[in-house]
């Protein structure tokens, strides 16, 4: 069996499953956020009753992250709906925006996004937070009400996005009926060359198989090249499995996985026992192809979908209005460090916005010093507009006052994950997806630029 089949077989109490089988799986973690949580809670109450109890208060993780730092009253209300439910159900892992469990969240527009407006428990983007707070464990099953839930597959977890109705069903029962997907294998050899990141790998692969090339399928990444990839690179890769239509993306578990997971579960006191899924000798795939990581180059997905693949070096004619770094895909500490490496000591030529994925990322950028100066200040000195309020921000547009949102038909190069029309705001705006290195180099020149020109 493939990694996905092994995990689904175990979670459904079977010795063997095949693609196409429909199985009831026991859920290890259900994650929801402020955009889909209120509707999920609504479904749960409507279907199981106003006084119903969730199946397991330690297995539900609620992470407000989408529409937090906005004066939109309904968005603020939605965070309050999450808080009421977390209190009522005594949910153990609720990363609230404010500290007062009886309080109401109201964004202070006068203070704006320049100043921190969150309490001690707030974390930021849900997928990054799941990893940092020790909710990703090898061999387990994680569902989330967000399509980029597939990111957690970097940790050898079966993880996929679902809607409110399915999530409401899980809240009441702890189970879900799912179809076992066919698996596509992407076998990696070699190591990434300088200036090329995990983001380039997944943009290359989506271009290879097309925007729907993995629809209803699992994407399994393995081979000798995996060992050289950092956990952050692996997260960038699995994060975007959905952009090829994939049900999930998954890596094997190795030393790097274990080190990360053990450190994070210990730090946050989350469950620390798990059983990784190992690679079987006997696996069958619907697609099986080898990729030499050392041959990859900085890659861009052009407007209007993630499958329009080009090399950065071919796109020098495209003038840009804006650059953006942030999100689950491109807002990690390593992403900002790569960005800072390029812009350090220089000045960006176009409006450039930076949104750390989580509060931990922001703290690390402030604490990391290069020649006595924090990376945070290096970025600010280069002209990057940074927010002190981590979250999803303009990756998905959001309410009109969202930090970095495109409220005009601009062209933006972005370290985020999706570029269908209107994704980052204005429906005639255009988004070009690229690695943080490429976004940084392009911010300096005002046109799409191969970052290797700036790397010594």
Partner 1 sequence: MAKTITSKVFVVRDNIDTDQIIPAQYLALVPTIAEEYEKLGSYALIGLPDDQYPVKFVPEGTIKTPYQIVIAGRNFGCGSSREHAPIALGAAGVEAIVAESFARIFFRNCVATGELYPFDSGLRLCDIVKTGDEATLDFDNDTLTVNGQTYVLKPLGDVRPVIDAGGLFNYARQSGMIAAAE
47 is a contact residue toward partner 1 (CB under 8 A):
yes
Q: Is 163 a binder of partner 1 (CB under 8 A)? A: yes
Q: What is the DSSP string of 145-181?
A: SSGGGGGGGGGT-EEEE--HHHHHHHHHHSEEEEEPP
Rounded distance between C-alpha atoms, residue 180 and residue 11, angstroms: 12
Label residues 233-258 b or e (16+ Cβ within 10 Å = b). bbbbbbbbbbbbbbbbbbbbbbebbe
By CB under 8 A, tell whether 32 contacts partner 1: no
Q: Which is nearer to partner 1, 78 or 333 (CB)?
A: 78
Interaction of residue 13 with partner 1, rule CB under 8 A: no
- Considering only CA atoms, which of 264, 241, 266, 301 is closest in space to residue 439? 301
Q: Binding to partner 1 by residue 427, rule CB under 8 A?
A: yes
CA 299 – CA 297 distance, rounded (Å): 6
Is residue 149 within the footprint of partner 1 (CB under 8 A)?
yes
Residues 8, 20, 18, 155, Cα dihedral to 10° = -30
Shortest Å, Cβ 31 to partner 1:
11
3-state secondary structure of 22: strand
**Should residue 399 be labelled a site residue for partner 1 when binding is judged by CB under 8 A?**
yes
The CA angle 197-156-212, to the nearest 5 degrees, is: 65
- Whole-Å CA distances, 367 to 116, 141, 292, 395: 16, 35, 36, 25
User: Which residue from 15, 16, 51, 456 is in contact with partner 1, where contact means CB under 8 A?
Assistant: 51
> Contact with partner 1 (CB under 8 A): which of 215, 284, 347, 373?
215
Does residue 46 touch partner 1 according to CB under 8 A? yes
Residue 359 CA to residue 408 CA, distance in Å, equals 29
CB-nearer residue toward partner 1: 213 or 356: 213
* Rounded distance between C-alpha atoms, residue 126 and residue 124, angstroms: 6
Closest CA to 330 of 454, 197, 222, 444: 197
Smallest distance from the beta carbon of 36 to partner 1, in angstroms? 7
Give the CA-trace dihedral at 314, 378, 425, 64, to 10 degrees: 130
Closer CB to partner 1, residue 8 or residue 379?
8
396 near partner 1, rule: CB under 8 A: yes
Q: Is 368 in the site for partner 1 (CB under 8 A)?
A: no
For partner 1, the closer of residues 51 and 273 by Cβ is 51
Contact between 391 and partner 1 by CB under 8 A: the answer reads no
Of 161, 90, 84, 105, whose CA–CA distance to 130 is shortest? Answer: 161
CB of 81 to partner 1, least distance (A): 8
Least spacing, CB of residue 124 vs partner 1, in Å: 18
Q: Which is nearer to partner 1, 9 or 43 (CB)?
A: 43
Asked if 105 and 74 touch (Cβ cutoff 8 Å), the reply is no
Angstrom distance (rounded) from CA 288 to CA 236? 21
Which residue's CB is nearer to partner 1, number 190 or number 399?
A: 399
Nearer to partner 1, 147 or 230 (CB): 147
Q: Does 300 bind partner 1 (CB under 8 A)?
A: no
Number of residues that bind partner 1 (CB under 8 A): 58
Nearest distance, CB of residue 159 and partner 1, angstroms: 12
Residue 115 interacts with partner 1 (CB under 8 A): yes or no? no
Report, in Å, the least distance between residue 23 CB and partner 1: 14
Instruction: Summarize as ranges the residues that interact with partner 1 (CB under 8 A).
Output: 35-36, 38-39, 42-43, 45-52, 66-67, 72, 74-75, 77-78, 81, 144-147, 149, 161-166, 168-169, 172-173, 211-212, 215-216, 242, 245, 247, 304-305, 396-400, 418, 420-423, 427-428
């Amino acid at each position: 069996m493939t990694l996905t089949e092994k995990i689904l077989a175990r979670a459904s109490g079977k010795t063997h499953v095949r693609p196409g089988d429909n199985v009831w799986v026991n859920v290890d973690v259900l994650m929801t956020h402020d955009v889909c949580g209120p509707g999920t809670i609504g479904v749960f109450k409507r279907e199981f009753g106003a006084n119903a109890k969730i199946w397991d208060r330690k297995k539900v993780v609620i992470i407000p992250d989408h529409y937090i730092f906005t004066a939109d009253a309904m968005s603020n209300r939605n965070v309050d709906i999450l808080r009421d439910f977390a209190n009522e159900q005594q949910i153990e892992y609720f990363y609230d925006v404010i500290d007062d469990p009886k309080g109401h969240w109201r964004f202070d527009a006068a203070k704006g996004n320049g100043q921190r407006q969150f309490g001690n428990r707030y974390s930021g983007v849900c997928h990054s937070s799941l990893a940092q707070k020790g909710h990703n464990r090898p061999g387990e099953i994680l569902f989330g009400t967000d399509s980029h839930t597939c990111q957690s597959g970097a940790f050898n977890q079966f993880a996929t996005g679902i809607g409110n109705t399915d999530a409401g069903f899980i809240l009441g029962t702890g189970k879900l009926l799912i179809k076992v997907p066919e698996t596509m294998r992407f076998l990696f050899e070699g190591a990434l060359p300088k200036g090329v990141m995990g983001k380039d790998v997944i943009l290359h692969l989506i271009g290879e198989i097309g925007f729907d090339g993995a629809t209803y399928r699992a994407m399994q990444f393995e081979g000798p090249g995996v060992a050289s990839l950092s956990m952050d690179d692996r997260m960038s890769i699995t994060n975007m499995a959905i952009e090829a239509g994939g049900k999930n993306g998954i890596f094997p578990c190795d030393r790097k996985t274990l080190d990360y997971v053990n450190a994070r579960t210990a730090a946050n006191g989350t469950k620390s026992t798990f059983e990784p899924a190992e690679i079987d000798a006997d696996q069958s795939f619907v697609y099986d192809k080898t990729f030499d990581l050392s041959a990859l180059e900085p890659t861009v997905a052009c407007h209007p979908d993630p499958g329009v693949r080009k090399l950065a070096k071919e796109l020098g004619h495209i003038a840009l209005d804006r650059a953006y770094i942030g999100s689950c895909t491109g807002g990690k500490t390593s992403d900002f460090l790569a960005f800072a490496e390029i812009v350090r000591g220089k000045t960006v030529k176009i409006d450039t916005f930076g949104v750390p994925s989580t509060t931990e990322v922001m703290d690390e950028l402030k604490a990391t010093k290069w020649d006595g100066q924090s990376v945070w200040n290096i970025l600010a000195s280069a002209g990057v507009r940074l927010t002190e309020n981590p979250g999803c921000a303009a990756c998905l547009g959001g309410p009109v006052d969202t930090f970095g949102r495109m409220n005009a038909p601009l062209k933006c190069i972005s370290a985020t994950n999706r570029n269908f029309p209107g994704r980052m705001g204005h429906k005639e705006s255009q988004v070009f997806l690229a690695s943080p290195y490429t976004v940084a180099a392009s911010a300096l020149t005002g046109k799409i630029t191969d970052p290797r020109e700036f790397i010594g």
